Structure 1
């Protein structure tokens, strides 16, 4: 029974300390004779009188229990009791009968206190006194309830923390995804990258189409503008005497053939490729022979620039009559600019195709890209030759495409010493020139013509040690023999293979001309 009294006293102290001291009234005042008045706000904070009587009845029923230890009813005052009544002396000195309970506090925003509200006494007074006396386990123990609430809340908080930032099995079981969530993010990223690559490729195709249309329009202004006006016998703009004859043909060269091919075939084919980008590679491959038109045009470019510049007033008068924005010098350079543009655009299309994962389309596009690189290199080399080669009396543009060029140690006739010469191999001729000035970052090289051999009157013999001998068999000129030595085995193999290929083509042609019936039967 002493344990019960001690527990009850502890509960009263806890309640007294739990309530905010700032809301307590009259804590230090002596007991007053004024009866306590029940207020509506105190209803939930007072223990009912009936609850105390049941508690006293249980204590009397226990064997060996003493009535003196039963809590008096005045310990649970009601609106009809007076603090000075019987049993008032059973209070401890720090407990005052005249204590006026404060009004209900505002809800405390703490999770573990909001859960069950303010602490209360025993929920079920009919339980055994043994259970009530068990510290920390009896149902009415406020400390026990608070501890349980705090424990539960802490466990929930730890669980939430594992969900938010933790890993392992708990995290996987909580969010229902685990590693699959990361996989979904990676999959989403991959899809986004592929979509971006496809969009990029579409944009490059759109640029290819728009620039092709603009290019065809520029060619149209040359062919149907300048060329038409120049060939008009009734033109009111007189042609300078210096341009009459064959010189005017050097200005435009074969640009009409280039225009008609782009207008009638290549532009339409590109429109179809925009619907089916995989067809771009085969289209470029089929167009290889037509791109050779640029070799002829670009080989004459330096000469055409000179003629147009020398007769600027005449061509500008035509521009004004036609109402064109660009003058002729800016238009005739368009083919040279365009041929280099294809290479750059195809390279961007390959990059976007790889990014989209369309690897089956890449090989054909790569082949088309390499083909355009050869075209661009040949065009550049041809223009370099025309600008740098001096003292050649023949028509360089009539010698066909430039196949190879480079320096080699040469001996012209047996009596001369080795000297480094620049060698140019065209489809019709091989030219040897002295190197007057090498190329640097500020100027182009300068080559001075020395000699040449027509390929249809040439014999070749391999000598070993990266050397080969070529001899002229042309009966119209004195016999000439030149020994050439390449700088490396790879360089030597390139020259040897190209020369052998040319000689084989010549032999095949001679055989077909000599044996037409035999060739037809084959």
Structure 2
């Protein structure tokens, strides 16, 4: 506890020297002639949100830690209380690469030399700008040591505080990789929280397309850096770049993406326990992902499960809110007529739109323009042994070709609150009739002959029955009998 308080005081003093000796001096008219042109109007780039960090520690956090000197069991609560404020470090670390580039351009200027001389600092400014990054890392080390010595009162809060700091460090690390993504035309901030990122070997299996590309993709892996967001999974190619003789910095060239609302997951792949699959559209395209270790695989599978489970719950909630009970009280033929009228009127409130019942040809926005993801042959490595091949091998490509593509198997027991929605049991078969808004489908139960709306995300193409029965673990269900889950669209880029 003594070390934590003493180092906190020293840290605040160092931040103060930076603010007063460099940051404020940029407004000193007597030194303005020494400021390099490359630094003009770029103070926020060089220092980032350092003023916010200094204010937080100087006015708040240092004092609260000092108050724990006689009661170290309260230090965990102190960190938990300031959980949100500590996230200022995420923004600072995200800006750090830009700051370093600017420093390399102007760090040897007379302005900084004069400031350093006045402060009598042995180290230049760039060493002090690294202090916040070092500090947030130091917190986790000290909390770990305190946790080892802590027994009883306050230990639970210490564990939670350590988890909070580790989560901030993880977010900082992830964000440092995220800002290096290039070629993605969308807005990364709209994809939700960045949950995971890491490098993997990836095999692809496309049931449609040129057979040569299909074979090449299946048997040779590509090295890809994956970014998992709440709403999307990005596949990027990692590139190492050297900047003006300095150490290599990674960049990530965007290759393609999968909407998380459109994917399913198979947790185990035959031949290698470190592999798992991400797939969509009745396994028309499958991405076999090999993690560097079982721990990494388990973390990714767990996080993907959470995303899919959350989306299923959101889908269920939307179905209860969007469709008033009196809309679909009539027989099925009236529902279809209403759908046709709404489709012809092109009203934005249209509940249904006509579609082809085939799961592989449903009309989606931009579907006709969909391309296979780009594959760089220079990334391919050696062909894996037969024991490593994924369970979705070539003999499965032709399985159940004669199956009815408009029939679906229910993945999860569905017990709706709305009267127009259909109650279904896991494993039950249904006939696709119409596609509605908000991920809802109008289906007919082949068991009860009843008709109603259900979330499309709980259905799996019956033509994939053999593959479904071979899957190892569920993506959404907590029961052993439910072995896979699927949605059906993909967003890709070159």
**TM-score if structure 1 supplies the norm length?**
0.46
**TM-score if structure 2 supplies the norm length?**
0.48
Q: Name the larger-Rg structure.
A: 1
Structure ranking higher on relative contact order (CA contacts 8 Å, 6+ apart)? 2
